[in-house]
Structure 1
Amino acid sequence: MHPITTTEAIDPVFMFIFGACLVLLIGITAAMVTFVVRYHRSRSPEPTSRVENNLRLEVVWTLLPTLLVLAMFYYGWAGYLALRNVPEGAMEVTATARMWSWSFSYANGRTATKLYVPVGKPVKVELVSPDVVHGFYVPAFRVKRDVVPGMKNHVWFVADKAGSYDLFCSQYCGTGHSAMITTIEALPAPEFAAWLQQETAGAAGNGRTLMEKHGCVGCHSLDGSPSIGPTLKGLFGSQVKVTKDGKPLTVTADRAFLIESIREPMATVVEGFQPIMPANPDLSKEDLEAIVEFIKELK
């Protein structure tokens, strides 16, 4: 017997509450219409009853709502426990949410900007944020959890079938919030195992991995398409209009310019873009060189 999945935990709760609300809506509306018609002033100009109380009716309308609320609480609590209790043997992945991108790290050191998971296996996702509050929201798996700086948090789910599932940030986190979207790619177990063991060769490949890890590709496109920050395609060696020390300049996007822009992003701001890029103090000299080599090849 397989453990209950997040979808199986949430859907019955939703249907129960929706069904109870629907029954109440129909019942109350029917009673209201009946009373309006039956006791309209044209039909009953004078009160027809002198009854001041009805113990049986009062007990019923007190007991039934109480039982209904208790039932809703029970189903809701059971669903909450299912969402928090991770099945044994779940694969662990760390999701880092930053302004404004996602990166995912696996136990063997593999990183990606999409969350790759095997079909049919529970996946526990540790949620980390180095800057502001974000939200990990996957409608297909009925999971939504805040990603709070400095707080340990997690979600888990099972992808029952192969496919691509949207993953959103559910908390407004700044200018690029609406673009903070990625996907969960559910692969058959053999395909996932092969993907997990792939290695990216060369300095350029390592540069791409580093950019994915630090969230650079969330704001800078690699194919020339518009984004929150300047595209990196064709950037190396090009002439760029910038503002530095409050003065407009045209500079060449060479190695020194790129390294300075990564280490001190507020020092030189490309024209037409906001000065919102965070600094990356934890990048080593070797990491910076690898990133520059990768950008250099994006012609």
Structure 2
Amino acid sequence: MPALRDIRRRINAVRNIQKITKAMKMVAAARLRRAQERIVSARPYAKKLEELIQKFVSTLDAYENPFIKVRDVKNIAIVVVTADRGLCGSFNTNIIRKTVALIEERRRELPQDGKIKLICVGKKGFDYFSRHRKNFEIVASYTSVFKKTIEYESVKEIMRRIVDGFLNGEFDKVEIIYNEFKSIVQQRIVIEQFLPIVPKIEIVKPSKGLKVPLVEYIYEPGPREILNNLLPKYLETHILRVLLESNAAEQAARMTAMDNATENANELLRDLQLLFNKTRQAMITKEMLEIASGAEALRKAGMA
């Protein structure tokens, strides 16, 4: 039977942990509210910009823009976006597991001399893949990106490293894997091709067999000039949206994890308090039995 002092120490320890988890839940809830406002505000602009870029890409089939031109894929860069901190449930574990599966899948598709290179955004992803450097090649890492606010300089730095590697031939294709924020209780892992930009707009095939875009526009000064000016802005906006999505998903996952931890602490406290009461009752009963037995023994000794 455990000692009352040990049970009391466990109860105090659980209560202290519960205070921490409750405080972390409140902090995560406040940060989630701000992160959710930012991603909801950024989505319409990012979506419209992507639609505009897609319309340009679909009308310029023969345009030799390096961001659009598809190459023979020998080297792939995978940008994996994780959190800088833990205590957010399976948020980091799921994205790392999915990234490892994606790497294995891409390795089967590449030629023998092909390589897969990682760009880690977030400390947790970098810590995992750096511990397994024999299996993974990290070419760049960015930690402490997810502060109180995501700074635009960090976005430009990440985008510059990706674009420079793509333009100089270090990467033939760039993919991004991250957690997309759906709701407080739901995050979805998304894998997107960042470069080269591939047309996604729906194509209509008329009876003559010609392929034309669904809607055509007349641009001034011209689609190529506009596209050249919009592409850098689009790439930066895409990276910013990915970071905002991941940040909102992280805060939602942390709030849910801390809420579950607080509830588990409540259940553990109830169990420990019940054990404490049962142990104390057993000790009192034992002492009463000992007193009664001693009194009975004295009474018999006096009679004798």
TM-score by length of 2: 0.27
The structure having more radius of gyration, on CA atoms, is: 2
Which structure's residues are more often strand, by fraction? Answer: 1
Question: Higher helix proportion, which one?
Answer: 2
